[in-house]
Every structure is written in structure tokens, then in C-alpha cells.
Amino acid sequence: MNPISVGVWTYGMGTDRYVGDGYKPKMELKDRIEHIGKQNGVSSIEITYPGDINEDNYEEYKPLLEKYNLSICAMGVELVCDKQWATGSFSSPVKEVRDKSVLLVKKAMDFAASIGTKTVCLWLGQDGFDYFFQTDYVAAWNNLIEGLQECADHNPDINLGIEYKVSEPRLKCMASSGGKTLAICQCTGRTNVGVCMDIGHSLNAGENPAETASMLISQNRLFHLHFNDNYLIADDDMPVGSVHYLHFMELFYWLKKLGYSGYYSLDMYPYRDNPDTAVEASVKFIQGMDKFIETKMKDITFSTEFDRNPSRILSSLFTKMFDL
């Protein structure tokens, strides 16, 4: 089975726009790592650079990571949650801001290389627009591509995974769908620029995650996966499989069939819930679904018979699901 990781933000305060100081007390990063380390089935953490762990404090956390045999499978770069990115990061019309974003990503790549982390994720949530006639779309696109190219060339051994999202905090994000993000990757002409696919964001974009993941794998661009769920209205970051059971079933089927070997990284934000139980439930869902696909779904075939009578696949599926 694929290794499972947990984003350390899962153990955050549960802050939202209505309860600014959060629903839970602040948990220090060491305590978050302790909680994750005690979870059965979890072998890695995901962090945000530089706010969580960086080149200045890594030695402080290294013994704790070793105690629980936890690696850092990926790190996101803080290009969103600071007012300096109000005009965007890579796509900003302000050259000084673009230069800052490129420099920060290069530093993250250097740190990642120094500790053996292969993937740096870029959520471009501030790159986009809010109003019509606000943005020079061509200039923004060219700035984005050029910035990604410069970072990719900095260290071709580090993968850059672009995390797409329809909106938030920008009302309209540039990297808003799997297909558009694939186009961005291909425009860079760099093989180490790919996609960090967040399943909740994919659902918000109206995608079938299995289809999008298959497309990205076929183009060698699926570098990392963030697992969570939602009700489609917002980016709820709920436990895996809590809403879209069949979506996840088909996703797991195609990930296994197409040989995805990367991490299943839990990217959740349980506002009022206990993060330990949210992680536990998600891990059990992943383990159970992996076992189900391995034991019950390996003999599925695709043929013109199903094309002519597509509901037959549902009958076959439900028979397997419920042992009928």
C-alpha cells in the first residue's frame, strides 16, 4: 500500500473567519509531531516552509522525527498567507514581489534537498484576479511560467507540485483545474514541474478526481496527492471518504491500476473535531479501500458491453461492495 503522511496543520487551532482565535487551543509543533507519530499507519509528515521547519530549526525537530521514524515527504511554500502576496506571487505585476517568491521557493528547494525531501508544493492561491478588467492575463501567465522555469532549473532533482484550486483567497485563481494546471506544467517545458492534486479542490472544480488523476499520471505530472473531502460548496477539508465514497473508490482503483507510488497525504482541517480521530478515521478508510480494491476490484474489465449498457458496471460493483 502507498505510504500515508499527515500535514501538521491538521492539528491547528481550527481558526475560521468567524472565530478568529480558533475552536481549539494552540498546539506547538513538537506536540503535533508527537500526535502524528503515534498514529498507526502514518510514516511521514508534510510541512509548510519556512513557518514550520526550516534550515535554522531542523536540528531541533530531527530527534523527534527520528524517534517516531517520520520523514518529511513534502513541503509547501508559504506564498499565500501573508499580505506581501496581495498582488500574487509568481504572477504578480510587481517585479520585486515576483523576485521574492522565486527566491523563497529556491530556498525551500535547497532545504528540501538537504534533508532528502523530493517534493516542494506550490499552492498559488493569491495568483489570479477578483474583478473583470483587473488583470493583464497574458502578462500574468508569462510571469507565472517564467518564475516556475527559473525555480525548476535551480534544482532539476526537486519536483515542484502546483496545487490548484478554483478560488480562495483569490476569487478566481489562475491554477484552477487539473487541465489548466497541466497546461501550465507543459508550458514550462520542465519535467520537474507537475501537480500536487488536492482531492477536495478537484471536487470543488467539478472534476471526477479519478479522471483527472489518470490524465496527470499518463503525462507523468502527478507528483503528490492531498486527501480530504467536502460537500462541494466550500473547501471543508473533511476526513477522507466522509462524503464522496464512490469518487474515492474509483480514484483508488485508477491510482493502483496506473502505478501511482507516491504518498497519500492527509490535508485536513477539523475545525471542531478531534484531529486524532479525524486522522484515524481517514487512515482506516484508506487502508480499507486499498484492501477492497486489491481483493474485489482487480478483475474489472472495460469493454463495449459496458459502453452499450453502462449500468451493468454498477450492478457488478454493488455486488462486490455488499457481498451479494
Q: What is the pLDDT of residues 106-135, one digit of tens each?
A: 999 999 999 999 999 999 999 999 999 999
Q: Residue 316 is placed in which grid cell?
A: 457488478
Protein fold of 4-297: TIM Barrel (3.20.20)
Note if the pTM is more than 0.85. Answer: yes
CA angle at 212 for the pair 209 and 217, rounded to the nearest 5° = 120
DSSP, residue by residue, 165-207: -SSSSSSEESS-SHHHHHHHHHHHT-TTEEEEEEHHHHHHTT-
Rounded CA separation 117/48 (Å): 13
- Residues 6 or more apart in contact with residue 112 via CB below 8 angstroms: 49, 75, 118, 119, 120, 158
**Checking DSSP bridges between strand 172-173 and strand 128-129, what pairing results, if any?**
antiparallel
CA-based R_g, the chain, Å: 20
pLDDT at 304: 59
Rounded CA separation 319/277 (Å): 30
Q: What is the pLDDT of residues 290-306, one digit of tens each?
A: 999 999 987 777 765 56
**What is the mean predicted confidence (pLDDT) over 18-34?**
96
Q: Residue 11 is placed in which grid cell?
A: 492539528
Whether the Cβ atoms of residue 291 and residue 320 lie closer than 8 Å to each other: no
Residue 166 has pLDDT above 80, yes or no: yes
Q: Where are the beta strands (DSSP E) in the chain?
A: 4-7, 44-49, 71-77, 119-123, 128-129, 159-163, 172-173, 193-198, 222-227, 264-266
**pLDDT-based confidence at 31, cuts 50/70/90?**
very high
Q: Residue 10 is placed in which grid cell?
A: 491538521
- For 117-150, b where at least 16 C-beta lie within 10 A, e where not — what string? bebbbbbbbbbbbeeeeebeeeebbebbbebbbb
Q: Is the dihedral of CA 135, 139, 145, 147 positive or negative?
A: negative
**What is the mean predicted confidence (pLDDT) over 197-203?**
98
At residue 113, the 3 state secondary structure works out as helix
Q: Is the dihedral of CA 278, 260, 181, 111 positive or negative?
A: positive
pLDDT at 303: 64
pLDDT at 316: 83
**What is the mean predicted confidence (pLDDT) over 35-40?**
98
**pLDDT-based confidence at 310, cuts 50/70/90?**
confident
